[in-house]
Amino acid sequence: MNGAEFRRRVKRYADKAGLTLRFDPGKGKGSHGILFLGTKRTTVKRSEIGKRLLGSMLKDLGIKKEEF
């Protein structure tokens, strides 16, 4: 999964949960940006996201893997 796919899936989750979602590519360095989900946030890179990083990002946002 890459960063764009991750953002699309988080958007679907946000729509179901009734949360606000915002991505700010200017806040990160290089190919990274900050994704805000409600009051939580995580850093998202645009290239490939590994399993461990995906788990960490979901934890930052308070999303269970089963719900994602």
pLDDT tens-digit series, residues 29-58: 788 999 999 999 999 998 999 999 999 999
- Residue 52 is assigned to a structural domain of this protein: yes
Supply the pTM of this predicted model.
Answer: 0.88
Contacts of 44 (CB under 8 A, 6+ apart): 3, 6, 7, 23, 28, 32, 33, 34, 35, 57
The reply to whether 14 falls in a domain is: yes
Mean pLDDT of the chain: 94
Looking at the predicted structure, is the pLDDT value of residue 24 above 90? yes
Task: Count up the domains in the chain and report the number.
Answer: 1
pLDDT(28) > 80: no
φ, ψ for residue 30, nearest 5 deg:
60, -120
- Asked if the structure places residue 66 within a domain, the reply is no
Q: Does 26 score more than 90 pLDDT? A: no
In a domain, 68, yes or no: no
Segments forming the whole domain that contains residue 37 = 3-61
Are the C-beta atoms of 41 and 60 separated by less than 8 Å? yes
DSSP symbols for 18-36: T--EEEETTSSSTTEEEEE
Is 42 a member of any domain? yes
